[in-house]
Amino acid sequence: MINPIKLNSPKLDKGISIMQALKNRKSERELSDKKLSLQHLSELLWAANGVNREDGKRTAPSASNKHPVDVYVVLQEGVYLYEPVKHQLLLIVEGDFRKLAGMQNYVHTAPVNLIYVADLDKLKDLPTPAPTDEKLKWTYIEAGHQAENVYLYCASEGLGVRTRTLINKEKLGNAIKLRSEQTVISAQTVGYPQTAGYHE
């Protein structure tokens, strides 16, 4: 069995002000194929859905603290599941599946694609029952919070990012072994801009 990839702790004493990050926030598709550093990848995932408090709560809010949205990471060497509590990547499948991560050409060469996946099985034991369409709304909101955290992190670090929904969800779902209770919501492509100016 291949060991999980242990991620680096985020460096919390760097970055720019939130107002400057909001000013810099934008979508970018002109991305280099250069691999992200482990530090950037680690902080990117922590920003999206990492544990930021001693009680186990996370950087993105979640309905009833159930965390029904998982972040999958499509890299050149394989597809991984981000495990926030252990802050590590668990290998799901080996191989380059970037062409299944989106329909636009830049997706296929970018170093990182984040896939936001709703898992309704995590919402089956709620204090107050809710219909499926309401549960799906919660996952859409949660994925939106996670994606915006990524945008702000990328704005602070000079990384390029773009959110997408054009995905062959059935083929990708089969490739990453999703269960019937899971569904792909959206994706983000991340990389160093082709122009200079990012921080190592």
Which residue ranges make up each domain of the chain? 16-191
Whether 200 shows a pLDDT value over 90: the answer reads no
Burial of 127 (0-12, 13-18, 19+ CB in 10 A): exposed
Please state which architecture CATH assigns to domain 16-191: 3-Layer(aba) Sandwich (3.40)
How does residue 128 score in pLDDT terms, banded at 50, 70 and 90? confident
DSSP 51: B
Q: Do residues 124 and 200 make contact, with C-beta atoms less than 8 angstroms apart?
A: no
Compute the distance between CA of residue 174 and CA of residue 196 in angstroms, rounded to an integer: 37
Q: Which of 135, 168, 172 is nearest to 143 (CA)?
A: 135
**In the chain, what percentage of residues exceed pLDDT 90?**
90
Task: Quote the pLDDT of residue 198.
Answer: 44
Task: Quote the pLDDT of residue 199.
Answer: 42
- Average pLDDT, stretch 178-199? 86
DSSP 77: T
Whether 2 shows a pLDDT value over 80: the answer reads no
Element of type H or E holding 97: none
Residue 117 Rama label (left phi>0; alpha psi -120 to 50; beta): beta
pLDDT (tens digit per residue) in 70-98: 999 999 999 999 999 999 999 999 999 99
